[in-house]
Structure 1
Amino acid sequence: MFTSAFAQAAGGPQGAPGDMLLQLVPFALILVIMYFLIIRPQQKRAKDHADLVKNMRRGDSVVTNGGLIGKITRVVDENEIELEIAPNVRVRVARGMITDVRSKSEPVKDQA
C-alpha cells in the first residue's frame, strides 16, 4: 500500500517522457546563455585578432603583448615581423604577439 503511493509521488515507472524533457529545459537554457555570453564573443574576438595580424603592413605602428610600441620595418615571414622600437633598435616579434595596430599607414615602397 505504501510503496504504490511513494511510486506515484516520485513519478515511478509510470512517469511520462515529457517530465524528463521538462527537467532538461533549464540545462539547455543555461547552455544557450553560456554560448551567447562566453563562447560567441570569444570566437569573434579571435577572428578580429586574426584579421588584424593578417593585414599588418610595413610602416604600421603596433603594440605588442608585452607593451612595446614600435613601427614595422620588415615582414620577415608569415610568422614574424621586425619592429623598430627606437632609432636603430630593431627586434623580431612573432605576429601572434601583436595586440593592437595603432596607426595604419600607406604601404611603404621599397627603395632601389
Structure 2
Amino acid sequence: MLISNAYAQAAAPAATDPTGGLMGILPLVLMFVVLWFLMIRPQMKKAKEHQKMVGALQKGDEVVTQGGMAGRITKVGENFLTLAVSEGKDGAVEILVQKGAIGALLPKGTLKSL
C-alpha cells in the first residue's frame, strides 16, 4: 500500500504551569493599567475641573463658550446662563447658553481689551 496507517500517540503528561496561567493574563492587565493612567484618569480630572468651574460661575464673570463666543454673564439659572455678547443701539445683545457649553473663564477686564 502507498498510504501507511496513522496511529495516535499516547498523550504525554501535561506540564503543569507553576503560575497557573497568570502569565497569559498579565499583558492584558498591564495594558489596562497603562490606558488608565495615560487616557482615562486625565480625562476624568479635566471633567471634574470643568464641573467645578461651571458650578462657581456667577453674574459679572467673563466667559468664552465652547463655540468661541465671548461675553459677560448677566443672569445665572439652574441649567442656563444669559450672556451679554455685545452692545447694540437698543442695549446689550444677550444670548441664552447652557452651563455645560462654557469653555473657559476669562480674567476680569478681558472683554474691554478685545
TM range (shorter): 0.7 to 0.9
Q: Which of 87, 102, 109 is the matching residue for 1:98? A: 102
User: 1:49 is matched with which residue?
Assistant: 50
**1:25-76 Cα shifts (integer Å, max 9, x gaps):** 111100000000011001001000000100011111100011100000111x
In structure 2, stretches of 5+ residues that fail to align are 1-7, 110-114
Question: TM-score, with normalisation over the residues of structure 1?
Answer: 0.78
- Deviation of 1:4 (Å): 3.3
Q: Distance in 1 between matches of 2:108 and 2:16?
A: 65
In structure 1, stretches of 5+ residues that fail to align are 106-112
User: 1:85 is matched with which residue?
Assistant: 85
For the aligned residues, what is the CA RMSD?
1.9
Question: TM-score, with normalisation over the residues of structure 2?
Answer: 0.77
Structure 1 runs of 4+ with >4 Å offset: none
Q: Distance in 2 between matches of 1:61 and 1:50?
A: 17
Counterparts in 2 of 1:3 and 1:65: CA distance versus 1, 3 Å:
farther
Aligned length: 98
Larger helix share, 1 or 2: 1
- Deviation of 1:19 (Å): 4.6
